Amino acid sequence: MIPRDTVDKIIEAARVEEVLGEFITLKKRGANLLGLCPFHGEKTPSFTVSPVKGIYKCFGCGKAGTSINFIMEHLSLSYPEALKWLANKYGIEVVEKEVTPEEQQKLGERESMLIVMQFAARYFNEIMNESDEGKSIGLSYFIERGLRPDIITKFQLGYSLEERKAFTNAAIKATYKPEYLAKTGMSILSNQYVEGNEITANDLFDRYAGRVMFPIHDSGGRVVAFGGRTLSSDKKIAKYINSPETDIYNKSKVLYGLWLGKKAIQQNNLCYLVEGYMDVIAMHQAGIENVVASSGTSLTLEQIKAIHRFTNNVVILYDGDEAGQKASARAIPLLLEEGMNVKVLLFPDNDDPDSFSRKVTAEEYATYLKNNATDFLIFKARKLSAETKNDPIKKAEIIKDLVQNISLIPDNITRSIYVKECASIMEMAEQILQTEVNKLRRNSSVKGKSNDYSQEQNQETGITTTEELKEEPVDLIWFEEQELLKLMMNYGNIIITVDQENEEKEIQALELTVCEYVLFELWRDEIEFKDPIHQLILDEFVHEIEKGELPSLKHFTNHTNPAISSFTLNVAHIGYDLSPKWEKFGVYVNDEKLEVKKSVSHMLLSLKEKYLSERIKELKDSIKTLSDDDIYAVQKKLVDLERSKIRVNKLLGRVVTK
């Protein structure tokens, strides 16, 4: 268990904008920050971060939380795991007793699998650097490829021994359970294994025997998979073997190099997209870190969205061979449809990013990348125009392909610019090209490819029809309770002046915090909240104030009780700031803090009116069952309550008619 003072230290250090900034690009918008939501697909940012309140909220899918909630959900971690992840990021020591083999068996399955992968990465690296076979084969290979020791260490490269059970036996000897070796895909079940039986060492053999090893990290820096390259020249042996899909590894979502390159992608507002592990590693050695590869699979929409959270700009550096061209043909339409700005770059002499890096200096490499990246659609239009100059039939076919690409671009203005540029290059009327693009945009098959298409049309017309954006109707019965708690959380420490009667019925001005004023008014009228969660939070306010502390919004968002933290995150207000320039146009925005006294007083009165109405109804219903002797007392009480209700309604500015 992590000590409470350590937890507090982690929470204090983990600024929400810093933590989330590692996973998405956030841009300043008033007092808040705005970015693309990592929890659902979107092209227009609706993910808002409030550094002041230490929380985030997506106005598209409704996700909300603190930096800890984000790490838990985005990296699929438990609460203690998220705390440890943040502690590691901020260099905070977490003093916990070492996990024994017995305790290790009790850990959750995902955590156990991640621990196995950590061990595997260390094991393969140690084998390569310390064993004779590892040094003579694995380390020699990387050195021959021109890699420096610091780059080998940076990417945690390693080697798996030729002996078919070397890793499996080492892992089991280190007390890792055979079932997790199989579940991670690090070991393979033999044909002799009988399904349903307990897995033993005899049932397993290594997946990666005799290969150099490339650990694959998720966006949080955890090893979740491996790529293993054979050094054999036997063509019957697969050149690369990659980890299978597991509970901790979804190959369609993970990008090789993103963990190490995301900061550089943000800083440069550009991502280089390459094919292989060595391409990424070679570019890092050349000082270019804003680069990723798709982990041995065709580029997927999920991977594109992962890049999009950091930048809109992609340069494709795929090989110029047939396989590279096919990979580009698959990737580019997806990139365009996601709204990315796509450029392509070809290396001379059929080089790839890795081989080219060994022919030039780091400075020459960077200069070549900067000077030779070409916008994909313009590049394609020029190439096709040159190839079909004297063949009208072929030119017509090529134009259809170009139109198909342009039609995928979601932004109207960007599409129009490409129509104009490409029409000029292809020497044809702009209107004809535009008409063909519009036809494809209207085609139902194109609409079906993107769930965002109808939303885009709605944005253009100003009409919102998306079901997810519809708000649930407010339950007016509990509305005042919720609003009072919201005001107490956001503005509880603000001092307001209120008029109160003393024992001599004299009016006196008192200075109270908003929290103290609300609690006093509720106590005086003996009001308890109807909703149990609301009352639980109210009790928390009372408990903290009795200790002499005024709880902040952060106290509730980071509360260990999930009911309290969840409620807080759902009602905590992240507002949009209007610039002062609007005042020039006669638009004035009230400061909510200046209105807080009025808001609190109104909510208290409204709450009291509802409680009075409820009490009056209860007494009226009870009269039917009372004796004559008791009815008089109840009627007298009813008169008092009705008078109080009239007074409250008058203060609320309401006219009550019968």
345-354, 404-413, 506-515, 618-627: segment of lowest average pLDDT: 618-627
Query: Is 6 a residue whose pLDDT tops 70?
Result: yes
Query: Is 450 a residue whose pLDDT tops 50?
Result: no
Query: Is 451 a residue whose pLDDT tops 50?
Result: no
What is the CB-side half-sphere exposure of residue 29 using CA atoms within 13 A? 17
What is the CB-side half-sphere exposure of residue 428 using CA atoms within 13 A? 21
Q: Which one is predicted more confidently, 277 or 625? A: 277
pLDDT of residue 341: 92
Which residues lie below 8 Å from residue 520, measured CB to CB, with a gap of 6+?
A: 512
**Of all residues in the chain, what percent carry a pLDDT higher than 90?**
27
Q: Decide: 606 and 651 in contact? Cβ < 8 Å.
A: no
Query: Is 412 a residue whose pLDDT tops 50?
Result: yes
pLDDT of residue 324: 66
| Alpha-carbon span 114 to 262, nearest angstrom | 22
Query: Is 511 a residue whose pLDDT tops 90?
Result: no
pLDDT of residue 120: 96
pLDDT-derived band of residue 280, with 50, 70 and 90 as boundaries? very high
Which residues lie below 8 Å from residue 289, measured CB to CB, with a gap of 6+?
A: 260, 261, 263, 264, 283
pLDDT of residue 445: 43
Query: For 105-249, which CATH class?
Result: alpha beta
Query: Is 473 a residue whose pLDDT tops 50?
Result: no
| Alpha-carbon span 161 to 134, nearest angstrom | 7
Helix (H) or strand (E) holding 451: none
Residue type, 467: E
Does the global pTM surpass 0.85?
A: no
Q: What are phi and psi of 244, to 5 degrees?
A: -75, 170
| Alpha-carbon span 36 to 384, nearest angstrom | 35
Query: Is 509 a residue whose pLDDT tops 70?
Result: yes
Angle at 455 between CA 453 and CA 461, to 5 degrees: 110
Q: Decide: 311 and 341 in contact? Cβ < 8 Å.
A: no
pLDDT of residue 458: 37
Q: Decide: 86 and 71 in contact? Cβ < 8 Å.
A: yes
Q: Which one is predicted more confidently, 640 or 106? A: 640
Most confident of 125-134, 216-225, 417-426, 547-556: 125-134
pLDDT of residue 591: 58
pLDDT of residue 271: 95
For residue 213, give the 3-state DSSP assignment.
Answer: strand
What is the CB-side half-sphere exposure of residue 248 using CA atoms within 13 A? 31
What is the CB-side half-sphere exposure of residue 195 using CA atoms within 13 A? 0
| Alpha-carbon span 214 to 515, nearest angstrom | 56
Measured distance between the N- and C-terminal CA atoms of the chain, rounded to whole angstroms: 62
Residue type, 577: D
| Alpha-carbon span 314 to 333, nearest angstrom | 13
Closest CA to 488 of 532, 540, 524: 540
Every domain of the chain with CATH number 3.90.980.10 lies at 105-249
| Alpha-carbon span 286 to 358, nearest angstrom | 9
Closest CA to 531 of 582, 591, 577, 571: 571
pLDDT of residue 579: 47
pLDDT-derived band of residue 570, with 50, 70 and 90 as boundaries? confident
Helix (H) or strand (E) holding 554: helix 553-557
Query: Is 270 a residue whose pLDDT tops 90?
Result: yes
pLDDT of residue 93: 83
pLDDT of residue 483: 87
Q: Which one is predicted more confidently, 546 or 289? A: 289
pLDDT of residue 563: 75
Helix (H) or strand (E) holding 58: strand 55-58
Mean pLDDT to the nearest integer, 580-601 = 63
- Residue 62, Ramachandran bin (φ over 0: left; ψ between -120 and 50: alpha; else beta): left
| Alpha-carbon span 553 to 11, nearest angstrom | 13
pLDDT-derived band of residue 593, with 50, 70 and 90 as boundaries? low
CA distances from 31 to 35, 48, 155 (A): 14, 10, 38
Closest CA to 65 of 482, 562, 576, 592: 562
In what side-by-side order are the strands of the sheet with 374-375? 291-293, 271-274, 313-316, 341-344, 374-375
CA distances from 644 to 105, 484, 490 (A): 64, 21, 30
Radius of gyration of the chain (CA): 32
Q: What is the mean pLDDT of the chain?
A: 81
| Alpha-carbon span 437 to 431, nearest angstrom | 10
Mean pLDDT to the nearest integer, 278-292 = 95
DSSP summary character for residue 89: H
Helix (H) or strand (E) holding 291: strand 291-293
221-225, 327-331, 360-364: segment of lowest average pLDDT: 327-331
- The number of beta carbons lying within 10 Å of the beta carbon of residue 478 is 15
Every domain of the chain with CATH number 1.10.860 lies at 476-651
SS (H, E, C) 357-378: HCCCCHHHHHHHHHHHCEEHHH
Closest CA to 45 of 31, 67, 69, 61: 61
| Alpha-carbon span 137 to 231, nearest angstrom | 8
pLDDT of residue 456: 38
Q: Hey, which residues does 313 pair with through a beta bridge?
A: 341
- Residue 378, Ramachandran bin (φ over 0: left; ψ between -120 and 50: alpha; else beta): alpha
- Residue 156, Ramachandran bin (φ over 0: left; ψ between -120 and 50: alpha; else beta): left
Mean pLDDT to the nearest integer, 397-426 = 86
Give the tens place of pLDDT for each residue, 175-228.
999 999 999 999 999 888 888 888 888 999 999 999 999 999 988 888 999 999
Give the tens place of pLDDT for each residue, 81-118.
888 888 888 888 887 655 556 655 555 788 889 999 99
| Alpha-carbon span 650 to 607, nearest angstrom | 14
CATH number for the domain whose boundaries are 4-89 = 3.90.580.10
CATH classification for the domain delimited by 476-651, as one of 3.40.1010, 1.10.860, 1.10.20, 2.60.40 = 1.10.860
pLDDT-derived band of residue 459, with 50, 70 and 90 as boundaries? very low
17-21, 38-42, 200-204, 653-657: segment of lowest average pLDDT: 653-657
- In sequence order, which ranges of 96-226 are alpha helices (DSSP H)? 101-106, 109-130, 132-133, 140-144, 149-154, 166-173, 178-183
Give the tens place of pLDDT for each residue, 156-181.
999 999 999 999 999 999 999 999 99
- Please give the torsion angle defined by the CA atoms of residues 188, 192, 194 and 195, in that order, rounded to the nearest 10 degrees: 30
